[in-house]
Amino acid sequence: MENEKISSKAKMLIAVAALGYFVDVYDLILFSVVRNPSLKSLGLQGGELLNQGLNLMNVQMGGMLIGGILWGIYGDKKGRKSVLFGSILLYSLANALNGFVTDLNTYAILRFIAGIGLAGELGAGITLVNETLPPSKRGIGTLIIAGVGAAGAVFAPIIAGLSSDPEWWRSCYFIGGGMGLALLLLRLGTFESSMYSHMDAGVQKGNFFQLFSSGERFKKYLYCILMGLPIWYIIGILVFSAPEILKGKVNAGDAIMYCYLGLAIGDFASGALSQWLKSRGKAVLTYLFIAVVLCVYYLFGITEVSTAQAKLIITLLGFFGGYWAVFLTYSSEQFGTNVRMTVTTTVPNFVRGALIPISLLFKFLIPSVGLIHAAAYVGILCFALSIFAVSQLKETFGKSLDYTE
């Protein structure tokens, strides 16, 4: 098994999926980065910047939740390659058109369409790579995809900071759309998964409700979602609140950038750790337990911190929250070929969507227990659910994926 080689075609597939996810994350994060200048350009000011910004973010997230289900089902029914083309075409056009918006309603419509498109890219790439690579090498493909992709979140604020022109945000959207459309040319060199192509014609494909048709299958699906909760707890609660938690030692933009820098490196490292341990579960648990220690120190152990130390601790939080690659591979490997794309596309989007109830609980607790303890209580819940979920999933390293549900 160790002598299994990755073909040149498979390497091309990994490169295309990785670059696609890079553009995907750039476009996903770009709205958060250019939110204020874009809304000011449309005439909003004061409290409306945050209020309407959150509304637009929720619209985008709603598009991703719906898109995750639609692209997943489509990918299992019609093929993985078609989703790679369709999803990137949709969000690239939506983001390019975002550069022309002059009113809030059009902005919201385009963020919703972009959200639908953004939901399909990663699941299609991960599924296609997992079904193409030799069993012992699957983790290598996904660590490259997730690691390169996370770097897109570092690239977005860099591009946004290149000009102080109040209308530069429009160019940032044009750049994102242009990168995506350029990638379509590379996509011409990709191929369909032979595992999918040779699937029995009589097998039911892409039935989302099949995931709920048996208790065991539903629990497995739920555990895959719960496994990813700490990633978005770290991003959406700890890092989002970093200016307040670290008493102004780091601003929101830097906090996001350094967190994603850690996530990008952490994704490479968690994938490599998984390959070295020959275990998905052990790699995820290693990251989770170290992340717990870091979170406790971040919330309760820091008394006085410099700006450099603040950036370091946020980067470390990102690093040990960077098991996205292993999490996606582990989830994808749990299910048969006829629903694998549905799982691999919906699970990450449901994890992202879980940030909504997580943040609502956080906001609910703050008035009674304060910011720090509210973050701690939410963290205990997220990590406990995740560690329990991983303990319930069967190891899949080296497992053959050529089977159906």
**Look-up of token digits 């963020």:** 111
Q: Where are the alpha helices (DSSP H) in 133-238?
A: 138-160, 168-187, 194-197, 215-227, 229-233
CA angle 62, 149, 270 (to 5 degrees): 105
Residue 51, CA distances (Å) to 48, 251, 384 in order: 5, 19, 32
123 within domain boundaries: yes
Q: Which of 287, 11, 29, 260 is nearest to 148 (CA)?
A: 260
Q: Does one domain contain both 186 and 215?
A: no
DSSP state letter for 200: -
Residues 98 and 151 in one domain: yes
In sequence order, what are the residues at sequence separation of 6 or more whose Cβ sits closer than 8 angstroms to the Cβ of residue 291?
A: 230, 234, 317, 320, 321, 383
Do 219 and 182 share a structural domain? no
- Rounded to 5 degrees, what are φ and ψ at 164? -95, 5
Could you count the other beta carbons within 10 Å of the beta carbon of residue 64?
Answer: 23
Single-letter residue type at 356:
I
Token pair of 156 as six digits: 């977005």
Same domain? 378 vs 249: yes
Residue 208: predicted pLDDT: 87
Q: Read off the amino acid at residue 394.
A: K
Query: Per the domain annotation, does 345 fall within a domain?
Result: yes
What lies within 8 Å, CB to CB, of 321 at 6+ separation is 230, 231, 234, 235, 259, 262, 263, 266, 287, 291
CA distances from 342 to 117, 300, 362 (A): 15, 40, 30
Does a structural domain hold residue 202?
A: no
Same domain for 112 and 228, yes or no, is no
Q: Which of 116, 133, 93, 107 is nearest to 9 (CA)?
A: 133
Cα 174 to chain centroid distance, Å, stands at: 22
Residue among 303, 301, 267 at smallest CA distance from 376: 301
Residue 275 maps to a domain: yes
- Ranges of the chain with pLDDT below 70: 1-4, 189, 201
> Measuring CA to CA, how many Å separate 33 from each of 102, 155, 237, 255, 266?
18, 11, 17, 12, 22
Last-in-domain residue among 131, 161, 191: 191
**How far from each other are the two terminal CA atoms of the chain, in whole angstroms?**
25
Indicate whether 151 and 236 sit together in one domain.
Answer: no
- Are 182 and 291 in a shared domain? no
C-alpha 16/C-alpha 183 separation (Å) is 8
Q: Which helix (H) or strand (E) holds 58?
A: helix 47-78
**Contacts of residue 47, Cβ cutoff 8 Å, sequence gap at least 6:** none
In a domain, 201, yes or no: no
How high is the pLDDT of residue 2? Answer: 47
Task: Let me know if residue 21 belongs to a domain.
Answer: yes
Domain C-terminal end among 143, 163, 191 = 191
In this structure, are 16 and 54 located in the same domain?
yes
In a domain, 238, yes or no: yes
Smallest CA-to-CA distance from 228 within 145, 305, 327, 159 is with 327
pTM: 0.86
Question: What gap in Å lies between CA 299 and CA 247, rounded to an integer?
Answer: 12
pLDDT at 92: 93
Q: Is residue 176 a part of any domain in this protein?
A: yes
C-beta of residue 225 within 8 angstroms of C-beta of residue 347: yes
Q: What is the pLDDT of residue 3?
A: 52
Q: In whole angstroms, how far apart are CA 314 and each of 111, 302, 372?
A: 28, 12, 16
Q: In which domain, by residue range, is 381 found?
A: 211-405
Same domain, yes or no: 225 and 304: yes
> How many structural domains compose the chain?
2
110 and 16 fall within a common domain: yes
CATH number, position 293: 1.20.1250.20
- Same domain assignment for residues 277 and 181: no
Work out the number of other CB atoms within 10 angstroms of the CB of residue 234. 26
SS3 21: helix
Q: 381 and 275 in one domain?
A: yes
